[in-house]
Amino acid sequence: MGSAAGATGELDVFDAGRCCGGYALGVAVGRRFGEVIRSRMSRDLVLRQQLLPFASTAQAEPLLAALRAANSARYPQYWDELVGTADGSGVPLLHIMLVNFRKEILPFIPKEDHDREEEADDDCSDVLVVSESMAIAAHNEDANVALLGHTYVVKATSPDGSSSFTAYTYAGELPSCAFGFNSNGVAFTLDSVPPVHGEIVAGAIARNFVSRDLLEARSLDDAMHVTTDIMHTTHFILITASFSSNIIEWQIN
């Protein structure tokens, strides 16, 4: 998977430090990576050919309203972060919403409304190795081709300085629907597991908001609680690990 890289070709890492709330963090990330975010939005064919045309239809209006209401009510600080990313990068909020909700929207786009190939469902995979002396989760980041050159790492510290996280992030999206870890010793990766049509719940909690909350998990048990305590729209495989106990757990949500 490509990335936003500097002159050395290394993955671009931004340490936002302590930010006073979600909006401030979003603005900081949006300003720092504005060019990369705008580039992704202009080249993402799923956004341009499917999500944006669908968003202009009468069918999309109640779905988008339900997604916005459910996720902003459950996670107001992360919704503010999303809005801040839009404001900081100069990208329309609708575009930022659509890429963050893409997994929750695409199943509802009528197939007859577009003749383009659907977004691939074989996004990522992991290899797990666990022994008495180590626990390793190796993640293959094999996502949408539009993300080539449009990823970066975000580091942030809580306002009170009590915890921090590091997250591999898709341009314009909340950290992180890929993988990340925090100073509480919790790490995770996510893999796509597309549901069959009858399992899809319209307007529920989005994957990107669940994974953002995982970055704040205080323990492995807390991370499990984050993913099982809510109704979310799509499925995904969550792999979590504890640095302190060499434990790796996985579950399908």
pLDDT score for 185: 86
Q: What are phi and psi of 166, to 5 degrees?
A: -130, 130
pLDDT digits (tens, 9 = 90+) for 65-120: 999 999 999 999 999 999 999 999 999 999 999 999 998 899 899 876 444 444 44
Collapsing DSSP to helix, strand or coil, 222 comes out as helix
Strand partners, 182: 165
Query: Hey, what are 44's tokens?
Result: 């993402």
Q: Is 185 in contact with 243 (CB distance < 8 Å)?
A: yes
Amino acid at position 91, single letter: V
The conformation of residue 108, written as its DSSP 8-state character, comes to G
pLDDT score for 123: 67
Q: Is 111 in contact with 161 (CB distance < 8 Å)?
A: no
The model's pTM: 0.84
The conformation of residue 118, written as its DSSP 8-state character, comes to P
Note the Cα 14 to chain centre separation in Å: 17
pLDDT score for 248: 54
Which of 241, 210, 3 is closest to 137 using CA atoms?
Answer: 241
- For residue 238, the surrounding DSSP H or E stretch is strand 236-242
pLDDT score for 199: 66
Which of 66, 70, 86 is closest to 25 using CA atoms?
Answer: 86
pLDDT score for 114: 44
Distance (Å, whole) CA 73 – CA 79: 9
Strand partners, 134: none
What is the pLDDT tens value at each position of the chain, 253 positions in all? 445 554 445 789 999 999 989 999 999 999 999 999 999 999 999 999 999 999 999 999 999 999 999 999 999 999 999 999 999 999 999 999 999 999 889 989 987 644 444 444 556 777 777 777 766 777 777 767 888 899 999 999 999 999 999 999 999 999 988 889 999 988 888 877 666 666 677 888 998 999 999 999 998 888 888 877 665 545 445 556 555 555 555 544 4
Query: Hey, what are 183's tokens?
Result: 């100073």
Burial, 162: exposed, middle or buried (Cβ in 10 Å; 0-12, 13-18, 19+)? exposed
Which of 156, 152, 202, 203 is closest to 178 using CA atoms?
Answer: 152
pLDDT score for 136: 72
Neighbour count for residue 216 (Cβ, 10 Å): 17
The conformation of residue 47, written as its DSSP 8-state character, comes to I
pLDDT digits (tens, 9 = 90+) for 165-176: 999 999 999 998
pLDDT score for 241: 59
- Peptide bond between residue 133 and the one before it cis (omega within 30 degrees of 0): no
pLDDT score for 238: 57
pLDDT score for 244: 55
